[in-house]
Amino acid sequence: MRSLSTILVTGGAGFIGSNFIHWLFAQPEFTGRVINLDALTYAGNLENLADIEARYGKGAEASGAVPRYVFVQGDICDRPLVERLFAEYGVDTVVHFAAESHVDRSILGPEAFVRTNVLGTYTLLDVARQAWRAPSGGMREDVLFHHVSTDEVFGSLGEEGYFTESTPYDPRSPYSASKAASDHLAKAYHHTYGLPLTLSNCSNNYGPYQFPEKLIPLMILNMLEGKPLPVYGDGRNIRDWLYVEDHNEAVWTIMRNGQSGRTYNIGGENEWENIRLLERLIELVAEEAHLDIARLRGLITYVKDRPGHDRRYAIDCTRLKTELGWRQRISFDEGLRKTIRWYLDHREWVEHVRSGAYRAWIEQNYARRV
């Protein structure tokens, strides 16, 4: 029986990780604690978790009580630090979100991707393997390492077909190659050492707290600011979009009930050509922000394509639906409206993440806690 009570969340200050922590603390069945290990790169921002810190962090608990939320600024490649966290907190579960995650950045500078995504994942796996040894010599059975991955490891589809869990890996960008390497390491640790492991490959996420370099927040903010809307190539590349809460519910479902050693695809079953998505987004932003739709349409600008740009991603998530009973809850229009409203209401957050000003805020509010 999995304990799922002292959960090391890596990358918990990023987009999906911070949404996961919010989501988890909102689940009545979760009574455990979260240790959030994040290096706070450009993509990590503790403002995302200020409410969680206030409610469950150090200052919130009666003196002497153990807080249910602990933030630690640190690098997943720092083995002594990771070992200390396992020992000090008695980590029984890892959910590993931390990564360099943006394809365009991986094309400009692959090294950080290899370091964090490959070496960092190796470090976590290897510390877990040592910390979770059972006295009998095997591995403890009440522990779990959940590795969060992407559909990009499968490569690019033509007009037909879907990625299933048995689709061969064919990564084509430095980002997806580094994620594929991390997936192989995770599976190898299960196969070779018996590390209790689940793994998920998800399609494109969108929602609150997404760094405005990714398509949907970038386009929303450029519309609000009257800037060009850069469409790569012919705009006909296809992605399968999922609201971030649906992703996180799937991750938690797998952590609770997934079979060790098994991988699960997570997807929106919601394919859109980029240009069609942008046209719909323009309609919704015009409505939500009371902007002139013709003026927004006039901002569409075709630009040079991303090198090696994958044409189409589409996930078959039948396994997750039939074996574990998960389903998407948020329709695309509903999710896009929620996301647009969130960016409209959080202009200060946008200023902070763009300018790096949140670093000063962090320094005033947090010290390194180990």
Active centre residues (catalytic): 151-152, 175
3-state secondary structure of 335: helix
**How many angstroms separate the first and last alpha carbons of the chain?**
29
Q: How many CB atoms lie within 10 A of CB 162?
A: 20
Q: Which amino acid is at 140?
A: R
14 binds, among ligand DAU, ligand NAD, none (CB under 5 to 8 A by kind): ligand NAD
Find the binder of ligand NAD among 106, 205, 222, 339 (CB under 6 A): 205
SS3 per residue for 218-252: HHHHHHHHCCCEEEECCCCCEEEEEEHHHHHHHHH
Please identify, using beta-carbon distances, which residue of 76 and 103 lies nearer to ligand DAU. 103
Residue 182 in the binding site for ligand DAU (CB under 6 A) = no
Quote the least distance from Cβ 209 to ligand DAU, whole Å: 14
Q: What is the rounded distance in angstroms from the CA atom of residue 212 to the CA atom of residue 216? A: 8
Cβ pair 20, 9 in contact under 8 A: yes
Quote the least distance from Cβ 263 to ligand DAU, whole Å: 15
State the burial class of residue 252 (Cβ atoms within 10 Å of its Cβ: 0-12, 13-18, 19+).
Answer: buried
In sequence order, what are the beta bridge partners of 238? 273, 312
Cβ pair 211, 238 in contact under 8 A: no
4 binds, among ligand DAU, ligand NAD, none (CB under 5 to 8 A by kind): none
Please give the residues from 65 up to 124 whose contact with ligand DAU meets the rule CB under 6 A: 101-103
Tokens of 321: 């639906």
120 binds, among ligand DAU, ligand NAD, none (CB under 5 to 8 A by kind): ligand NAD
Stretch that binds ligand NAD, among 41-49, 135-143, 226-234, 256-264 (CB under 6 A): 41-49
Site string for ligand NAD, 73-92 (x = CB under 6 A): --xxx---------------
Residue 256 in the binding site for ligand DAU (CB under 6 A) = no
Give the residues lining the site for ligand NAD (CB under 6 A). Answer: 10-11, 13-17, 38-41, 43-44, 75-77, 97-101, 116, 120, 148, 150, 179, 202, 204-205, 211
